Amino acid sequence: MNLNDAFPSKYLKTEDLKGRDVTVVIEAIEQVTLPQGQGRKLVATFRGKAKAWIVNKTNANTIAMVLNTDELEDWVGQEIVLYPTETEFQGDMVDCIRVRRKKASTAPQAPAMPASEPVDDDLGEDIPF
């Protein structure tokens, strides 16, 4: 059994993203008083997700920039991308979650091949991905 499984958190942690970018839709954003003297924090919940996310000032400012509004109620229903990374904290590198806008698909559509032309299946076999 994993320690995080034994003591699950109701708040999102970096390891919950499993190393991937995750697109979410903000369901609610509110200030919550956290236990154990942690004070009032901004907390976001997401559509279809069980865990809430404690939003620090850096991430709040980034969300405001990405969504082009400082009004928290305007964030509700908006899509953002959460991604795991690292940051310096008290002289150490620590895991963290950051936010960015969802990238628009800019890849050009390939023209459809006529059914009569054969497909070269071994093209690019030496490419490692």
- pLDDT 10s digits, 62-113: 999 999 999 999 999 999 999 999 999 999 999 999 999 988 766 555 555 4
- What pTM did the predictor assign? 0.75
> How far is residue 119's CA from residue 89's CA, in Å, rounded to a whole number?
53
Does residue 31 register a pLDDT over 50? yes
> Which residue pairs, CB below 8 angstroms and at least 24 apart, start in 90-93?
none
Measure the CA–CA gap between 89 and 67, rounded to whole angstroms.
27
Q: Which amino acid is at 71?
A: E
